[in-house]
Amino acid sequence: MSPASVSLPPPSKWIGPHPVLAVTIELQTLLEWLAAALQPMATVAGLSLGLGQVLLYREDVLALSSSALWLWLSVLAAAAVHVGVVAPLVTHVGVGSRAWRTLPSMAPGVVFSATVGSPVLAVPVLAACFPGAQLVTKSMSQVGIGLSCALQHNGHALYVPLALVFLGTSSALTAELHKPSTWLWLALLTLLSCFVPALGGYNSRNGTIERPRLRLLVTLFRAWIVLAAATSEPSTVWSSLAPSLPLLVAVDLALQPLLTAVATHDHLLWTRLVAEHCAETCVPLPRGTDLQTRTPGRASPVYL
């Protein structure tokens, strides 16, 4: 049968897109239009969010003291090694390219996620940065976002062991820190911290903001104190530990932007590796080529 003799069904009988897919496409079009309209105000919004965080937690920030300086330096060193050594090595081994080449194009998404304190809230900004960086396709970036949402708090795992060691050295349990069981317990708490959000909802009854991660870590650490100090008085140990808890809250608050940026960086690395594996990386275009990535009409099932 020749191609000219092939008959197509009437247009009324063609199978259209699924209703759910059609609604998703329209929502994506609306979000892209809103992002393009609000983009000029992004700088002012970022500054206002950062200033609002400082004013909201001014009492916690004032609780910082010089005794937490070594914890700050340790976290900064761990983050620098993670981002500057481990991540480029993984990128070079996994995809055979430099990790710093597209970092300037992804800077708006990283800064926005550090400002709002959540990589998930920065998903629209990150999705808009991927085409501009010519890193991966828009569809693959969204797949990577969905796969890495469960590990969005992995940056906080860099400092959880250091924070708990800080609590231990500030109490009467310095000798317990040299036991292997203690470090196994710290590894378990580090793994749990990857899945617990830093800040929860606003408690209107107490007028405070809940911190689920700190509550979980302090509870488990207190249980470890009771088990480790069973031969002594646990109440005495806990009373010596209690004054350092506000300082830990302040350190957690002050380090949250840095660790959120680290988590976003890990998300970008994970997306790049997934895109390379699925062969959905962008082809570098000549200079001067206009992709028109902000046009709402480009929204289609191909980009979902």
pLDDT digits (tens, 9 = 90+) for 69-98: 677 777 788 888 888 888 788 777 766 666
HSE toward the beta carbon, residue 205, CA cutoff 13 A: 1
Residue 153, pLDDT score: 57
Residue 212, pLDDT score: 57
pLDDT digits (tens, 9 = 90+) for 95-123: 666 656 667 777 887 888 787 777 777 77
Residue 164, pLDDT score: 67
User: What are the pLDDT tens digits along the chain (304 aa)?
Assistant: 555 555 555 555 555 566 776 777 778 788 778 777 776 776 676 666 666 666 665 665 565 555 666 777 777 888 888 888 887 887 777 666 665 666 777 788 788 878 777 777 777 777 777 766 666 666 665 666 656 655 555 666 666 666 666 666 665 556 666 677 767 777 777 676 666 655 554 454 554 445 555 666 666 666 665 555 555 555 555 555 555 556 666 666 677 778 778 878 877 777 777 777 766 666 555 555 544 444 444 433 333 3
- Give yes or no for a contact between 68 and 247, defined as CB atoms under 8 angstroms apart: yes
Residue 263, pLDDT score: 79
Residue 225, pLDDT score: 59
Structure tokens at 98: 């430099």
**Distance between CA atoms of 264 and 268, rounded to whole angstroms?**
6
| pTM exceeding 0.75 | no
Residue 294, pLDDT score: 42
Residue 93, pLDDT score: 76
**Distance between CA atoms of 11 and 213, rounded to whole angstroms?**
56
User: Percentage helix, strand, coil, to 5, in the chain?
Assistant: 70, 0, 25
- Give yes or no for a contact between 133 and 141, defined as CB atoms under 8 angstroms apart: no
- Give yes or no for a contact between 241 and 167, defined as CB atoms under 8 angstroms apart: yes
Residue 299, pLDDT score: 38
Most distant CA pair in the chain, distance: 92
87-120 per-residue burial string, b: 16 or more CB within 10 A, e: under 16: beebbeeebeeebeebeeebebbbbbbbbbbbbe
Residue 72, pLDDT score: 73
Q: What stretch of H or E contains 218?
A: helix 212-228
How far is residue 96 CA from its own chain's centroid? 24
**Distance between CA atoms of 284 and 304, rounded to whole angstroms?**
21
Residue 32, pLDDT score: 74
